[in-house]
Structure 1
Amino acid sequence: MNDVFILYLAVQCILPQSQTTPEKCLSNPWHGKGFCEPNQYKSSIDRCEGGHKSCDLSIEIYKELVKVLEHCSESLHQWSLTSQRKIVQSKEFGTTRAAWIESIQAVEKLAERNEDITKNIQHHVIDKMVAYKNSKYERSFLHLKKVKEFEKDFKKVQKPWLELLNKINEAKQEFHHASRKLHHAKRAENVIKTDLGTTDEQKKKVKDSVHHYESETETCRSTYSKLMEDMKAKQPGYQEEMFKILSRTDDFERDRLNQFKLMFNALQEAISIENDARHTEMSDLFNKAIGKHNINSDIEYFNKHYGRETKTKWPVFEDVHESCHSL
């Protein structure tokens, strides 16, 4: 059972993540929280810091693709040579043999097309991404300086907001604590009122206690409410300032994402067959090879050399010569 569960988890890990996949299923400690909440700005800082890793990943992935294409080209060349040798050594002949060999050679053009694609991917995808990465990230002190500026600005805007939130939290705790003490005092007063043996002094004491906690609770409520009103007044300005910095980080990332779009377009162009000269060349070679294939000619050739047009030596009656009788 455990092995099945582990296998299930492994499969889930390698399933493609779509746009609808909840981020909470991924490794993201900031998912599900508002950006203006304490320290949530670190999600944008992490995005800016991690951009170069995506660049490295893209370079790694397409280098692997180049290796796959190179291996495919080598395999195609080897397959072509081996196949042609087998055809030559076979019993096939005439136009069929020629068309077969030349069609194999036409297929081999796929290897040359792969080589063209490989060069295009290397030049227009990998080299361009390497150059971009070097210009944007390799001078790491400039990149880090920019990210640190973002973080510094976020902290500067959020510092007074965090102080206000701390005051609100403290005021809330004091208000709730005072409210609980008032509740206990009122319960004690109700108990005293129903107790016939209670003295006037005791009644006065619990009544004074209720008045004291009512005053304390009201003071705490007022402080708490005032801080909440203060927060509501400052909230739009705080949010605006936070979003201004966020927009700057968006622009910083937009530059990298634009580079990725260029990479996707370059990859599409690199493997497109619409304007591929090799595709036309392969088609011409196939047409020529197929055009050489003359079935009637091969049948006639076979009949001429092996079939109906050959002269068969039929058996004839051979009499015994006199010389044979003398023996």
Structure 2
Amino acid sequence: MSLFNRKYIAPPSSPIISNTTRIRSASLATNSAYGRGFFEPGAYSIALKRCENGHDLAQQLADMFDERAQIELAYANQLRHWSYKWRNELSKSQEYGTNKKVWDQLATTGEPMAYVHSTLSASLSESLIPNLRQWRKEHYERYLLHYKKTKEFERDFLDAQKSWNKLLDKISECKSMYYSACKASKLASEAENKSIYYLACKSSKLVDDAESKSSGEQRKKLADKVDTARREIIFTRTKYQQAINEAREQRPNYESTMKTIFERTQAFEKRRLDFFKETYDEYAKILEIATIDNSILKTMNANFKASLLVHDSLQDLLWWDQNYGTQTNSRWPEYEEYID
């Protein structure tokens, strides 16, 4: 049975254990995943799981960018279709003048916008996503059903805990033997006390020599059992305390080894986080180029604003008046002589 699966019994306060040690022990006992300290047997698995998760998270990020690229491409195609459709509709409409020119320019903006979004899609598909997947492939090399780096960390953690786990098993065994000795001593003392009480009750009665001799022998046996049980308590308690002291002696070296391996997992995870940060920065640059610093968008905006400058409602009304309104040449009724 594992030492950490047993019911916890608070040890007596000891000047050997400093307040700092108690604080550190309390903080280490709050592992969010298991409710156990990292140095407890097998609790390092959360660090291995984080390494495994790094591959899946890189895949998720690549999938997210891929979905964005598909959205951008689909939107670009829709913009082109939208621009073509409405320029064609406008050419067949009854709109006229400068208002028609501005409207046509508005519909034309779909083309450069489509180019911008298709370029953004291409940047994601041809640069960002392949780089992300290549990085994942290089850093998460497969080893059978697991990743090579994860197996390496797991092997080192197992080696680091091998002797420590043996010591914990030894402590658990010594503790169990000590507790059993305490229980046996208690039972022996209770049996002896019952025997003394029984003999006291019969002291007022006449008993023959044989019965008296038998009772004396039984009492001696019980006393011997009590004495043996007490010696067993001393022996097992000493073994238990020696095992605890051995753990205290080995703890610094064990902690140091575990921390060294843990820091390697931290460094491995840091490389992932740093690469993700670089990926985010690259994505920000792609968006900036596609929007803020895009010359095509600037030209599109300039052309559209220029078309707005020529928009003149009065001129359009005048043109309409001249071509379809009161200023057109109307045929007025006149007298026409009959010609044979």
TM range (shorter): 0.7 to 0.9
1-side partners of 2:223 and 2:143: how far apart?
Answer: 70
Deviations 1:167-186 (A, max 9, x none): 01111111111222222223
Could you say which residue in structure 2 is the equivalent of 1:171?
174
Secondary structure, in 3 states, of the residue corresponding to 1:32?
coil
Report the residue type matching 2:279 in the other structure: M
Preserved CA contact (<8 Å) 2:102 2:311: yes
Could you say which residue in structure 2 is the equivalent of 1:233?
249
Preserved CA contact (<8 Å) 1:63 1:126: yes
Asked whether 1:115 is paired with 2:118, we answer: yes
Q: Structure 1 residues 290 and 308 mapped into 2: Cα distance closer, same or farther (>3 Å)?
A: same
Normalization by structure 1: what TM-score? Answer: 0.79
Secondary structure, in 3 states, of the residue corresponding to 1:296?
helix
Q: 1:278 aligns with which of 280, 289, 296?
A: 296
Could you say which residue in structure 1 is the equivalent of 2:237?
221
* Alpha-carbon offset, residue 232 of structure 1: 1.6
Could you say which residue in structure 2 is the equivalent of 1:7?
none
Could you say which residue in structure 2 is the equivalent of 1:57?
60
Q: Structure 1 residues 197 and 89 mapped into 2: Cα distance closer, same or farther (>3 Å)?
A: farther
Could you say which residue in structure 2 is the equivalent of 1:80?
83
Could you say which residue in structure 2 is the equivalent of 1:183?
186
Could you say which residue in structure 1 is the equivalent of 2:202?
197
1-side partners of 2:232 and 2:57: how far apart?
Answer: 57
Could you say which residue in structure 2 is the equivalent of 1:17?
none
Preserved CA contact (<8 Å) 1:124 1:266: no
Asked whether 1:126 is paired with 2:129, we answer: yes
Q: 2:327 aligns with which of 288, 300, 309?
A: 309
1-side partners of 2:161 and 2:338: how far apart?
Answer: 132
Q: 2:307 aligns with which of 289, 294, 316?
A: 289
Deviations 1:230-263 (A, max 9, x none): 1122112101111101112222232222211111
Deviations 1:131-170 (A, max 9, x none): 32343345869x9555443333222221110110000111
* Alpha-carbon offset, residue 226 of structure 1: 1.4
1-side partners of 2:60 and 2:338: how far apart?
Answer: 99
Preserved CA contact (<8 Å) 2:157 2:258: yes
1-side partners of 2:59 and 2:162: how far apart?
Answer: 35
2-side partners of 1:255 and 1:281: how far apart?
Answer: 41
Stretch of structure 1 that moved more, 196-205 or 216-225: 196-205
2-side partners of 1:209 and 1:315: how far apart?
Answer: 145
1-side partners of 2:338 and 2:282: how far apart?
Answer: 94
Could you say which residue in structure 1 is the equivalent of 2:13?
none
Secondary structure, in 3 states, of the residue corresponding to 2:94?
coil
2-side partners of 1:99 and 1:229: how far apart?
Answer: 89
Aligned residues: 293
2-side partners of 1:40 and 1:228: how far apart?
Answer: 21
* Alpha-carbon offset, residue 95 of structure 1: 0.8
2-side partners of 1:308 and 1:191: how far apart?
Answer: 133
Preserved CA contact (<8 Å) 2:141 2:147: no
Q: Structure 1 residues 138 and 284 mapped into 2: Cα distance closer, same or farther (>3 Å)?
A: farther
Q: Structure 1 residues 99 and 206 mapped into 2: Cα distance closer, same or farther (>3 Å)?
A: same
Q: Structure 1 residues 207 and 44 mapped into 2: Cα distance closer, same or farther (>3 Å)?
A: same
Structure 1 gap segments, 5+ residues each: 1-22, 25-29
Preserved CA contact (<8 Å) 1:193 1:203: yes
1-side partners of 2:286 and 2:175: how far apart?
Answer: 63
Note the 1:239-258 alignment, pairs <5 A: 239-258=255-274
Sequence identity, in percent?
Answer: 27
Q: Structure 1 residues 200 and 139 mapped into 2: Cα distance closer, same or farther (>3 Å)?
A: closer
Secondary structure, in 3 states, of the residue corresponding to 2:185?
helix
Could you say which residue in structure 1 is the equivalent of 2:25?
none
Could you say which residue in structure 1 is the equivalent of 2:26?
none
1-side partners of 2:47 and 2:138: how far apart?
Answer: 21
2-side partners of 1:86 and 1:31: how far apart?
Answer: 66
Preserved CA contact (<8 Å) 2:178 2:240: yes
Asked whether 1:38 is paired with 2:41, we answer: yes
Could you say which residue in structure 2 is the equivalent of 1:11?
none
Greater RCO structure (CA 8 Å; 6+ sep): 1
Normalization by structure 2: what TM-score? Answer: 0.76
Secondary structure, in 3 states, of the residue corresponding to 2:202?
coil
